[in-house]
Amino acid sequence: MPATATDPHTSRTRSWWGWGYTDAHPDDAECVATGALLPGTLARPLPIPRVADLSIGRPAATPPTSLTHLVTADPQARAAHAMGKAYRDVIRALRGRPGRIPDLVARPTRDQDVADLLDWAGEHGVAVIPFGGGSSVVGGVEYRGEAHHAVLSLDLTSMGRVLEIDTAARSARIQAGALGPALEAQLRPHGLTLRHFPQSFEFSTLGGWLATRAGGHYATVHTHIDDFVQSLRVITPAGAATSWRLPASGAGPSPDRFFLGSEGTLGVITEAWMRVRERPRHKASASVAFADFHRALDAVRAIAQSDLAPANCRLLDPGEALLSGASHDGSTVLVLGFESATSPVDARLTAAVDLARAHGGRGEAAPANRDTPPDAAVGAWRSAFLRMPYLRDGLARMGAVVETFETAATWGTIPALIDAVRTEVGAAAAKATGHPATVNCRLTHVYPDGAAPYFTVAVAGRPGDEVEVWDDIKAVATDVLHRHRATITHHHAVGRDHRPGYDLQRPDPFALALRAAKDALDPHRILNPGVLLD
């Protein structure tokens, strides 16, 4: 079993401590240049952490001979499975405080392997944490408890094949460990796509998307992975569960909805039948600039409540537009995009731009020819979108606190919510650090009844206390979201880091029902203990 974090599809090495590939990380000079944008950051970047410097002890559990071919205790593999890729994970690694490192990493290749590993773990009191691409940003892939003497990280990425395609039903049976690029590469020869592209697409798996109810970056209609699920297969300590393939059903509570978003606490999703579609052939995009952010909100609401259904309808406030290079004059920028597998989209793009202009926007629809270069603002945003997680890690090396949190609320709440987050979270960040802070906002997904604002906080941290600073900021943000009846998470899991906000929002009877389900399916309470259902 390979113990390195090398991506077999690219021969590039994944970072054990930060985002993405090691060869794409900012070098020291770029870190210093970026850090200079935030007053109070370090004079030079923190060194890149080494696994050799971590205190990694001997495993506290030994698997039976029948499972040893699936399991490794290699320090590099264990370190790479210790945490996700949130800001607090990255800065903890940089400061040499990664937390509890799993004793073992298992890479099953079939359902029976998963069942055998769960049986062994249940008999020996070993906690099991299902692990996909490791891009978790809510503390969902690490162990923070005390009830288990050993921890096993269950890496599903060796189960990454498209097993079957039903062209008549336009669906595909896909193993849960399929990373985004490999999944799409297997569908492409058939002219099909799942059309689910979260920012973590390169480094996340189908099973991870399902277990966290992930959102992609398409702005309207099918925004979440839930919409594409036809049926699931899940291995639990109590046995296997496979739902029927149906286009729709009113037969009681949905078994698929039961496992979607359960974050591995109820069972290990091993495969799913997913609804797929033809690959788009017609695409067009444009940007519209606004002098007034609140008029831009009105424009986005008008587009969301039309029948135009853009694939991209992303609103960037002046700070976000400047950061992405979409605007340098203080404008708010709306990025619009349309696509279709069957018909031209230029008329829909023109109609959306006209709606935006009716609300004070400045912009023209670009030609829909595929060979036409993208609008400059659209291209700048797309490049910045893909590069941003690497830049965040570079700023973390400079001692900065840089993180994004997201939510969703109804249209009547959105303006006051955005103003409150900017004011209160910005003030909390400045108070906690003694440095000026920025809070930028973008709308990423829009619905007829509301939208999903995403906020990025950036401030120089207190050296050595960056995690505590972020936790204080997050507590203020959670309070603001709760007061405005906004969700604690729009597009991914609760994990451990969103628990305070989630506990405020879930009804007590629902929490009791979830606990009962977990007790029934996991009598040994070994699966991802402490996440979501406690």
Is 134 annotated among the ligand-binding residues? yes
C-beta of residue 162 within 8 angstroms of C-beta of residue 182? no
The amino acid occupying position 50 is R
Look-up of token digits 């599809």: 9
- Is residue 218 part of the annotated active site? The answer reads no
Q: What pLDDT does residue 414 have?
A: 98
Look-up of token digits 């797309």: 382
Q: What pLDDT does residue 3 have?
A: 38
The b-or-e profile of 81-100 (16+ CB within 10 A means b, else e) is bbbbbbbbbbbbbbbeebee
Q: What pLDDT does residue 532 have?
A: 64
Is 132 annotated among the ligand-binding residues? yes
Is 392 annotated among the ligand-binding residues? yes
State which fold the 73-279 domain adopts. Answer: 3.30.465
Is 131 annotated among the ligand-binding residues? yes
In the predicted structure, residue 72 carries a pLDDT above the cut 50: yes
In the predicted structure, residue 88 carries a pLDDT above the cut 50: yes
How far separated are the first and last CA of the chain, in Å rounded?
35
CA distances in angstroms from 180 to 161, 201, 237, 532, listed in the order given: 11, 5, 28, 25
Structure tokens at 58: 């001997």
| pTM given for the model | 0.94
Between strands 104-106 and 150-155, the pairing is parallel
Q: What pLDDT does residue 9 have?
A: 58
Is 523 annotated among the ligand-binding residues? no
Region 52-62 average pLDDT: 95
Q: What pLDDT does residue 375 have?
A: 65
Tell me if 73-279 shares its fold with 399-508: no
DSSP, residue by residue, 80-116: HTS--SSHHHHHHHHTT---PPPSEEE---SHHHHHH
In the predicted structure, residue 384 carries a pLDDT above the cut 90: no
State which fold the 282-367 domain adopts. Answer: Alpha-Beta Plaits (3.30.70)
Q: What pLDDT does residue 366 have?
A: 54
Is 327 annotated among the ligand-binding residues? no
Over the stretch 270-297, which tens digit does the pLDDT of each residue have?
Answer: 999 999 999 999 999 999 999 999 999 9
C-beta of residue 374 within 8 angstroms of C-beta of residue 326? no
Domain 399-508 maps to which CATH number in 3.40.640.10, 3.40.50.1820, 1.10.150.110, 3.30.300.330?
Answer: 3.30.300.330
**The one catalytic residue among 87, 143, 454, 502:** 454
- DSSP-H helix ranges across 20-97: 28-35, 75-80, 87-94
In the chain, where the domains are located? 73-279, 282-367, 399-508
Region 395-424 average pLDDT: 97
Is 136 annotated among the ligand-binding residues? yes
Provide the β-strand partners of residue 215.
224
Region 8-18 average pLDDT: 83
Q: How far apart are CA 80 and CA 95, in angstroms?
A: 16
Confidence class of residue 247 from pLDDT cuts 50, 70 and 90? very high
Contact residues for 332 (Cβ-Cβ < 8 A; gap 6+): 289, 290, 291, 292, 293, 296, 315, 316, 317, 318, 321
Q: What pLDDT does residue 312 have?
A: 95
Is 265 annotated among the ligand-binding residues? yes
